[in-house]
Structure 1
Amino acid sequence: MNNDILNYWLGKFIVEVRKENGEEYPPKTLLSLVMGLQSFLRLENKTDINFLDGYEFQPIRQVLDAEMKRITRKGIGSTTKKAAAFSDEEIDKLWKSKHYADYNAKVLVRTILFLNGLNFGLLGARSIGIYVIAPLK
């Protein structure tokens, strides 16, 4: 497949792709879809194809940029998830229940993670198997 055909069909894909329910994808998801296609083509053709760089794929970048801007103007994908803050009563209850303390290593690590999350706005530490927001059982 030559670059002109790829530019044409990928441009059409970017403009027309929708969720199953007909809604438009958020801009970041649209970019992820294009990058997924790029990865697939790299594996299939064993070439170093790059849609985001180089002159040959400038039409794809222009269509993608315009579509992402159009979707953003519509307000799709512009909301971010926010964590609920702990009240003083909730924090006191956690300390009084000895869920956070320093009486053993596991509890101390949990306490440090909780305090870091509380003071620095961190949401959780799932990568090490500890949830800061929800108490461990």
Structure 2
Amino acid sequence: SRILPVIQESHPIIWLDVNQLLFQIIAASKRPRSSLAMSLKFSYGLTAWKNWSRATTAAAANSGTDYGFVPPDPAELDTLELADALARFVREVRKPSGEEYAADSVYYLCLGLQGHLAIDRGRDENFFCGGPVFYEFCHALDGVLDRYTARVTEDGTLVCRIEELHLWECRQLGFHSADSLLFTLFYFLTRYVGLHTAQEHAALSLGQFALVPAPGAASTDGSGGSFALRFSPQSGYAAGMTYELTEAADPLKCPVRLFQVYLAKRPQFPATVAGPSEPFYLLPDRQRACEPTDPVWYSREACLSEAELNRWLNRIKCVKEIQEAIMHAQMQWSVDPNAM
């Protein structure tokens, strides 16, 4: 079991058993849940899939080919077939009237399909962060989301199809995999710290973060004390400021716990690179299973590219809470242009 030293200032080192924490969190996150009780309506995505399946299958029959056949439930496809069908779905899906869906509606439908496969069918694929197999799907979705613009009513109300809760429900956010852990840190830094461009995210280094005892921390033995994640950005809207993200009441959604696990699962860098200059966003190691007991989940050979970070931004800019954070930053900038 790997033990993580918690970085502190003028305090004894606190040790955290990350693997034990991870087992507890993953066990809690995998407790059976009914999709009927969730805010994200999986049925919308599944209905759109069935309509598209019916249309493509009919078109294939009329043309005398088998290529267009798609089963009415995506769970009937293996991983490679699913990846191909999802890319086609994103490009071809239409409303029953024949009109195109809004960009964020296409994303919502895909989240519903992800939730259906993960929650209702027990499938492990995360096709939003599934590596090379789902590249064409992610590329197609990014093309759709490129045309997304926030909708605001005349009275100033922000209209968003997707909320943060939906991402938690379909396991895009959380400790479910090396990919979702990394994506969640990216999401938190975008929402709470004001990193709103791919360039700002790409410039992050590990040395800009520290774990420190939270104000009023009760103990120093790792059992009862609480911590804060301290972040000092060097560029962008938040440059020159110091942020502290405190522990959340729900450990499944706690930025401090997420960072602790991420730090523990990073590889050791050579002495010439290790330390403050270590790049922050490391790619998951696709050669590993990334089980809770695996000491390393990420590769030191590659970082998330700026292009991939931009695709992630395209995705989360459709989320209500992110749009609210962006609008808040823009309002602050309009009052004080030197703040950004």
**What TM-score comes out, normalization by structure 2 length?**
0.22
Q: Which has the greater radius of gyration?
A: 1
Q: Normalised by the size of structure 1, how large is the TM-score?
A: 0.50
More helix by share: 1
Higher strand share: 2
